[in-house]
Amino acid sequence: MAKNNEFVKFDKVDKSYDGKVLVVKDLNLDIAEGEFITMLGPSGSGKTTCLMMLAGFETPTNGEIYLDGNPISNIPPHKRGIGMVFQNYALFPHMTVYENLAFPLKVRKFSKDEIDKKVEKALSMVSLSDFGSRMPAQLSGGQQQRVAVARALVFDPAVVLMDEPLGALDKNLRESMQYEIKHIHESIGVTVVYVTHDQSEALTMSNRIAVFNDGKVQQLSSPDKLYEEPVNSFVAEFIGENNTFQGEVTDISKDRCKIKLDSGKEILANPIRVKSKGEKSIVSLRPERAIIDPEEKMDNKFQGKIEEVIYHGDHTRVRLNLLGNKEFILKVPNSSARMDIKLGNEIKIGWNSFDARALDPK
Ligand code: ADP
Ligand code: MG
């Protein structure tokens, strides 16, 4: 059977809590069956509200949500077939791990035999087969979150919602859990709607990412497209690190434009979101696309002064004053140890105009 590309569908969904301010604005989002989609955005941008509406704990003010083609407004949460893992959606503390997982199955009236089988399968999926008789308090934070993941999956839901499920874990554990959840998704193919404000988490885990700001989806694309081709300066700033220059378009052709910076100097850039001369632009350049001692043929070459040098283990971060931008960041791999990376030194920097994305200032 063909994959359903509209397995979950937000259709013109608005949400207001107070009847005045919309915290979700005209959301149109199709989620494919089996997809891992992440809602990424700053705090307060409306991500949790979207999950709550999909789960059935909040109602859209306007619009409708569809699950497998059917409107779900009138279906109560427990009948939607949706599993959930939230940062603060704790395990039942007075129940063993086994009982925690059995609970959603008992509610759904599975037989004792089926419950045993499903609990065993779900526990082995998160590598906790021997932990069924433990109490949650006897588990580490990471183990508790794995039980929470298993509990969300144990009844074979059509969709699993995860809202910042790794937020309380320390960095190393968070990263290993990201891979673990990603692998579980790959092996069982359930549709996952994931929420995070952590861009590297979103890039690591997702098939597609919807970037939220101020209740609106700014961009919906694959992680690599989001990183390489941000559609506006909000997305460019939010995803990954970014050097920016402000100026005005003074010349433009199909694949190249000239931007006169406020400092008076001109740079060449890739006209992504500018169309004509005279427009204001913010030019965005990833730190790793700026090169020291550029070849002669590179179309942007400038001199900058080193303002700060910070050792980062695998690379050194160098902050430059370049073309009037005192926050210009450069990442130098530590394999290429250089003697001239010192505070106060002047170095030559270059980049290809293709990598410098001229965006609109909004
Ligand atoms: P996010 O998950 O992206 O941080 P939320 O969906 O939680 O964002 O919140 C979006 C906006 O809605 C915020 O301004 C928040 O204060 C407001 N909000 C969230 N939940 C409620 C609620 N239950 N009642 C009133 N306002 C709320
Ligand atoms: Mg939230």
Q: What is the pLDDT of residues 247-289, one digit of tens each?
A: 999 999 999 999 999 889 999 999 998 999 999 999 999 998 9
Cβ < 5 A residues, ion ligand 2: 48
Top-tier CATH class for 241-359:
mainly beta
Q: Strand, coil or helix: what is 49?
A: helix
Q: Which superfamily does CATH assign the domain made up of 8-233 to?
A: P-loop containing nucleotide triphosphate hydrolases (3.40.50.300)
- Centre of ligand 2 to C-alpha 84, Å, is 14
Stretch(es) of the chain classified as CATH 3.40.50.300: 8-233
**Mean pLDDT score, 296-303:** 94
- Centre of ligand 1 to C-alpha 308, Å, is 39
Question: What pLDDT is recorded for position 88?
Answer: 67
**In the predicted model, is pLDDT for residue 336 greater than 80?**
no
- Centre of ligand 1 to C-alpha 43, Å, is 9
43 lines ligand 1 (CB under 6 A): yes
Residue with tokens 């997702």: 206
Report pTM: 0.86
Q: With 0-12 CB in 10 A as exposed, 13-18 as middle and 19+ as buried, what is 122?
A: buried
For residue 159, which of 119, 190, 196, 202 has the smallest C-alpha distance? 190
CA–CA dist 44, 49 (Å, integer): 9
Q: Which atom of ligand 1 is nearest to the CA of 15?
A: 12
**Mean pLDDT score, 128-148:** 94
% of the chain surpassing 90 pLDDT: 83
CA–CA dist 60, 24 (Å, integer): 9
**In the predicted model, is pLDDT for residue 1 greater than 70?**
no
Nearest C-alpha to atom 24 of ligand 1 is from which residue?
17
Poorest-confidence range of 21-35, 241-255, 323-337? 323-337
pLDDT digits (tens, 9 = 90+) for 28-85: 999 999 999 999 999 999 999 999 999 999 999 999 999 999 999 999 998 999 999 9
268 lines ligand 1 (CB under 6 A): no
Task: Output DSSP code: residue 87.
Answer: T
- The rounded Cα 288 to chain-centroid distance in angstroms is 20
45 lines ligand 1 (CB under 6 A): yes
What's the mean per-residue pLDDT of the chain?
93
Which helix (DSSP H) or strand (DSSP E) does residue 192 occupy?
strand 191-196
Stretch(es) of the chain classified as CATH 2.40.50.100: 241-359
